[in-house]
Structure 1
């Protein structure tokens, strides 16, 4: 006789079945939650990389502006420093004729001493080495003085002569009115002179002529005075 009781689940089987069913139910309930969790994780990482991309793009977009701002700041800082230095040094630029003339005088006499030894200038025997001496520096200082004085004299002469202004029409001096200043008698050469003076080039030309004449007289005065001192020192008679 067969034992059909073996086909009936025992308590252990029911417990295992119940546990498996519970696990299946839990798994069934957890699958959507896991799916949602993976979706959230995917979205989070996607958003994270997207935010990183946006941040990097923003940084890359701002990088040229940052570099430009830094460069502009550096340039402005250097410009401010250079501008201050220029404002500080610009008055010293007026003294540039002194070293220029000093070195030019020094090397000119060096060349004369080498290639024309038969000449006997006053400074012979004083020009030595490659650095200007006291005589060369004196000539540089005197050149600056001559430049300023000659400019003042030439501009003063041009300003006090009404017929030598920049434009005769601007001065209200027409050819007919100019005759009043020369006794109402204008000959051919005066008309030619007035025609020349009407040209815009005459003023710098007249300034150059007056400046050259004034500078020549100033140098002549310096030469005469220096020669007088040399004659006094040597015991010879001076022409002064």
Structure 2
């Protein structure tokens, strides 16, 4: 990583960004499928309970990315530590057990914030350069008129996510260097 300029994300961060976006896409499909099933089940309940359960399910669906990324990070590093010990980052320590470590929970929270920021920036950039001046029709245009637009959005999200992971790494390295002095 020493040969790369600090303003260009290294391959490690591109892999992190692509893995995060692919994990999010898979999680979105799973949540949509489970959401339909849960919606049909709780639709049988009275309206007051129905609305509360919808809000609860929406909150759990939004926060599930933190939990999923934390567990994936934990188990991926356990796998890599067992089969590829030379890939270990020197600043981290192995965490035995089933539950994620503090570092994995941080990666889950940071992955969630990277997802939110990259999505907002991607839609903001697409909104600036959309052929339609009506931003209220952004999702309609996104689904119907321009079939390649989701691909452009994903590319923008990957680029933004890679730069955010690079930023986290640079801040982490700066904090480690400051703590040594």
TM-score bracket relative to the smaller structure: 0.5 to 0.7
CA distance, structure 2, for counterparts of residue 77 and residue 151 of structure 1: 34
Structure 1 residue 209, shift from structure 2 partner? 1.1
**Structure 2 residue corresponding to 1:144, chosen from 101, 107, 112:** 112
5+ residue gaps in structure 2?
1-42, 134-144
Structure 1 residue 141, shift from structure 2 partner? 0.4
Structure 1 residue 200, shift from structure 2 partner? 2.2
5+ residue gaps in structure 1?
1-74, 172-198, 236-240
Structure 1 residue 157, shift from structure 2 partner? 0.7
RMSD (Å), alpha carbons: 2.3
> What corresponds to 1:121 in structure 2?
89
Give the structure with higher Rg (CA): 1
> What corresponds to 1:216 in structure 2?
162
Cα pair 1:109 1:127 within 8 Å, conserved: no
CA distance, structure 2, for counterparts of residue 110 and residue 78 of structure 1: 46
Aligned length: 128
**SS state at 1:94 partner:** helix
> What corresponds to 1:102 in structure 2?
70
CA distance, structure 2, for counterparts of residue 114 and residue 126 of structure 1: 10
Q: Deviations over 1:205-229 (max 9, x none)?
A: 2111111111110111001111111
> What corresponds to 1:205 in structure 2?
151
> What corresponds to 1:86 in structure 2?
54
State TM-score, norm by structure 2: 0.62
CA distance, structure 2, for counterparts of residue 99 and residue 156 of structure 1: 27
State TM-score, norm by structure 1: 0.48
Q: Deviations over 1:177-198 (max 9, x none)?
A: xxxxxxxxxxxxxxxxxxxxxx
Cα pair 1:102 1:140 within 8 Å, conserved: yes
**SS state at 2:63 partner:** coil
